[in-house]
């Protein structure tokens, strides 16, 4: 029971937790009720930056969701132009994270980070389709061990004001490895390799580092109907 509550905190969260705690202390001296509100907000901040361990499927060819949240959109779209992946549309899966989801993002498949591109932009509601085009974003192009390429994009949202990248170009990475986070509430888009179809449905709840988005070795392209415990 304690393990489900007392999970590790991502190092990027400690400065914010300290700020919230100091503010709560000052609010407490000003007014008890304000102080209680400050305590609640501080506890929420701790909860927001939680970083639980995940058990990542290890079979070759599986593409894992990089973000916790809900599949909000499945469509076809051209990857961000700054990644130089051509003008052909690919199947895209968009996972929306609310302020109560774990916001640590994880690599979807083994490979090498070939390109990272940051683009400033607006802070529209991340649930809107146009957010992928107009909002601030950090885009990643990964070459898989089989030579295919996949893109995943951290998109800032209405509340999110900071995208944190924790990997570098040329770095070998593994599925489930942490590569960054977004503060506070946002979305991550995944552009699948050409010819690969998603195995998820809109409205499906995803667990970063564990839930399967697609299978590069699958012979069928029907959506998965079974979830997994998390």
pLDDT digits (tens, 9 = 90+) for 21-55: 999 888 888 888 888 898 998 888 888 788 899 99
Output the six-digit token pair for 101.
Answer: 């989801």
132 is catalytic: no
78 and 11 share one domain: no
Please give the mean pLDDT across all residues of the chain. 85
Of 43-47, 134-138, 166-170, 220-224, the range with the highest mean pLDDT is: 166-170
Does 184 reside within a domain?
A: yes
φ, ψ of residue 19 in degrees (nearest 5)? -65, -45
- pLDDT grade for 185, boundaries at 50, 70 and 90: low
Domain count, the chain: 2
Residues 43, 39: Cα–Cα separation, whole Å: 6
Judge if pTM exceeds 0.85. Answer: no
* Catalytic residue from among 4, 127, 146, 186: 186
89 and 175 share one domain: yes
Closest CA to 101 of 180, 182, 156, 39: 182
pLDDT digit string, tens, across residues 101-118: 888 999 999 999 999 999
Residues 21, 24: Cα–Cα separation, whole Å: 5
φ, ψ of residue 34 in degrees (nearest 5)? -60, -40
Give the structural domain span for 210.
62-215
179 and 76 share one domain: yes
Does 116 reside within a domain?
A: yes
Closest CA to 180 of 160, 170, 165: 165
């Amino acid at each position: 029971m304690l393990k489900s509550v007392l999970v590790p905190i991502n190092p990027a969260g400690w400065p914010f937790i300290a700020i919230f705690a100091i503010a709560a202390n000052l609010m407490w001296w000003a007014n008890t009720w304000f102080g209680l509100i400050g305590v609640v907000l501080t506890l929420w901040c701790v909860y927001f930056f939680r970083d639980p361990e995940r058990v990542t499927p290890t079979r070759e060819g599986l593409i894992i969701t990089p973000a916790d949240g809900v599949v909000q959109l499945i469509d076809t779209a051209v990857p961000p132009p700054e990644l130089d992946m051509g003008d052909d549309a690919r199947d895209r899966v968009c996972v929306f994270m609310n302020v109560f989801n774990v916001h640590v993002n994880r690599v979807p498949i083994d490979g090498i980070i070939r390109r990272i591109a940051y683009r400033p932009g607006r802070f529209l509601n991340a649930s809107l389709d146009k957010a992928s085009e107009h909002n601030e974003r950090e885009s990643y192009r990964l070459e898989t061990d089989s030579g295919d390429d996949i893109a995943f994009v951290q998109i800032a949202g209405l509340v999110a004001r900071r995208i944190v990248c924790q990997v570098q170009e040329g770095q070998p990475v593994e599925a489930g490895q942490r590569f960054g986070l977004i503060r506070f509430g946002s979305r991550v888009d995944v552009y699948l390799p050409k010819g690969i179809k998603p195995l998820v449905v809109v409205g499906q709840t995803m667990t970063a580092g564990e839930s399967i988005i697609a299978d590069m070795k699958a012979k069928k392209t029907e959506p998965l109907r079974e979830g997994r415990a998390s």
